[in-house]
Amino acid sequence: MKLTLIKSATLILCALAASQALAQNLKIKHGAIKGTTLVYTKARNYQFCEFYVGAGPVAPSTELEGHNSTATSTGCPAATFASIDPKKLAADLGGSIAILNPAKQTAQKWWVMDELYVYAAGATVDFSGIKATWVVKMSVGDLEAAAKAAQTPYEPLTNRQLSKWVFKKGNTVFLLRAPEGKVYAMQAFTNAADPNLRYEQLPQLGSKMQKLPAGWKYEVKTLDKDLEFDVRKATPSGLKHLTLDEFGNVYLGCGFDSACNYVP
């Protein structure tokens, strides 16, 4: 079975607890559905948002069911997303916590790669007017770590998800070149820090970076062949290397293992 959408996990997030109640059962279907693969081949500059919902006492170990709006029938309308009350959403779904991404609900996020493939996906759920599909299970602690990382940009990060991300030949990639042959390709960008930021301005983003570490460089490149980031080929399989820049944009890392088919 094939559907269309995705998930991107490590971004600026905040946790908003609806209650510290005893364990509850979520009213939504969650978890991967056997044989379901999510495929979306028109991802570049596509706006998306994410929802993470959990039940029971809220602690770093509390498991959250992650859903992404990419390629659903609603997409992620900015006005609808901005109007959602996370506490009410959690309660309506039988949970104790709901975390929205972007955490700043007046901000938006867009994909930068061209294609995405998630090899374990689940049901599509209505989140107060925005439909999103299950794509990952994470913990409150995972998202807290992501939020902390946003305060210390350009640090190496990892998470796990069986997925593939493709940047097509002839298209532009926005790279962070780090020491020792490591290269990060921008996966998603956000206007959380700069409300006026748009995809067309990404080529000039390097001139605005004030916190690039020594030896790092922002580079704009046109690909002469497809760049594939296949996490199934990572060591260990499913391990994804990432970093964030000072604006909260997310980058996929190449040069760590065999996940990338080459280092751009």
pLDDT of residue 79: 97
Q: Is the pLDDT of residue 112 over 60?
A: yes
What is the C-alpha separation between 94 and 183, in angstroms, rounded? 42
Classified as helix, coil or strand, 75 is coil
Lookup: tokens for 253: 């890392």
Q: Please state the φ and ψ torsions of residue 216, each to the nearest 5 degrees.
A: -95, 155
DSSP state, 68?
A: E
Q: How many CA atoms lie within 13 A of 218 on its CB side?
A: 20
Confidence of residue 151 (pLDDT cuts 50, 70, 90): confident
pLDDT of residue 147: 82
pLDDT of residue 30: 86
Residues composing the chain: 264
Of 49, 53, 137, nearest to 94 by C-alpha is 53
Confidence of residue 10 (pLDDT cuts 50, 70, 90): very low
Which H or E element spans position 3? strand 2-3
Of 39, 258, 60, nearest to 147 by C-alpha is 60
Q: Give mean pLDDT, residues 232-255.
A: 94
Q: Give mean pLDDT, residues 208-225.
A: 97
pLDDT of residue 145: 84
Return the number of other C-beta atoms located less than 10 Å from residue 147's C-beta. 18
Buried b vs exposed e over 71-94: b needs ≥16 C-beta within 10 Å? bbeebbeeeebeebebeebbbbbe
Predicted model pTM: 0.88
Percent of the chain with pLDDT over 90: 77
pLDDT of residue 21: 36
Buried b vs exposed e over 184-201: b needs ≥16 C-beta within 10 Å? bbbbbbbbbbeeebeeee
